[in-house]
Amino acid sequence: MSPLPLPQGFRAYVTNVGVKDDTDDFTVVAADAPCVSAAVFTKSSFAGPSVVVSRRHAALGTARAMVVVSKNANVATGAQGLADAEEVVAGVAAALGCAPTDVLIASTGVIGRAYPMERIRAGLAAIPAPLPGTDANAVARGIMTTDTVAKTATASVGAARIVGVAKGVGMIEPDMATMITMFFTDADLPGRELDRVFRSVVDRTFNCVSVDTDTSTSDTAVILASGVAGPVDLAEFEAALYSVAESLTKQIARDGEGATTLVEVTVDGAATGEQAKRVAKAIVNSPLVKTAVHGADPNWGRVAMAIGKATTADEVDQDAVVIRFGEQEVYPARLSDDDLAALSEYMRGDDVRIHVSLATGGSAGATVWGCDLTDGYVRINADYTT
């Protein structure tokens, strides 16, 4: 894979410090000078120490560095886990010559295991100054756990660039999936506007992906802006950031543990955006819909079931609802054997789109992304720690 340069003003360091043998497990990305930043985190009540520390630091809106420890979530580790996270942040800050509050931390991996701090301390002491790397692809590889591919995306806006990296394939149902995503840009943006735009984009992308309905204890999404490239049009920046986030969202769904098919569900004709998203999530999260997609079985009745369980009788008139697989209407139209055969062939593709029109008289809609459910998902998670 060809290198993907980070935006101006950012450098990186990716290495193995012994959290896991043979693979990179420690990643630092930092700006050369002070930044503006924004972040959102899991709403889980079992949030890990990394989230606790980062949430406190992120509230300042001036973070300039991010450290990620992969292969160990450092969750449910008590006071020692919190002290360890704070020590990692302090060690990174010392290496960079900045305040600990300028550093955010994320951790991903097995829950309930303490950091191997002797090894990590040695790794902290070995951080080079300045950081030697500029390749975002190396950053993406360094934060992987059970991901099968590194996830990156980029876009330009005026003279500035946005580069995003992400990891996540299981325990994916964000409430802000196990998901960590970082964005770096050299655009010059006001901190308050960056926070507003970032939260809006996250809500329309990462909060619309689900692999298995399970919200991680460690979900973290961060954006750092160095400002080196100068000011940009805010609306154009939001559109570019959305394109990067949407790409990463689809990459997460496509790489869901054991997945073979990306599933996109669009619901329109809804009374509200909340209703549209609720119904779309019910469809993409249904094990029966997921297994039908995996088996290339155009069983639209499972979609009708999901619509019904996510709504009340006074919300939806079932006789007015329209369900489509791809471009083919499957309800209320009656399908011939040839139609069913063609749909089954369509569902053997890499992408399956399900479209539902609720026909409530409203114009709200939502699109969400997920994947099929396979025996591979069961095996990966049945054997995860043993």
Supply the residues annotated as catalytic: 178
The CA-based dihedral angle spanning residues 77, 177, 281, 264, taken in that order and rounded to the nearest 10 degrees: -160
Q: Position of tokens 């964000």?
A: 174
317 contacts: CB under 8 Å, gap ≥ 6: 359, 360
How far apart, in whole angstroms, are the C-alpha atoms of residue 101 and residue 89?
Answer: 8
| Cα atoms in the 13 Å half-sphere on the side-chain side of 162 | 28
Cβ atoms of residues 323 and 356 within 8 Å: yes
Q: At CA 240, angle to CA 239 and CA 246, rounded to 5?
A: 85
Burial class (CB in 10 A: 0-12, 13-18, 19+), 216: buried
Cβ neighbours, 10 Å, residue 361: 10
Cβ atoms of residues 331 and 245 within 8 Å: no
How far apart, in whole angstroms, are the C-alpha atoms of residue 66 and residue 35?
Answer: 12
* Nearest by Cα to 291 from 367, 374, 383: 374
How far apart, in whole angstroms, are the C-alpha atoms of residue 38 and residue 58?
Answer: 7
Longest CA span, the chain: 69
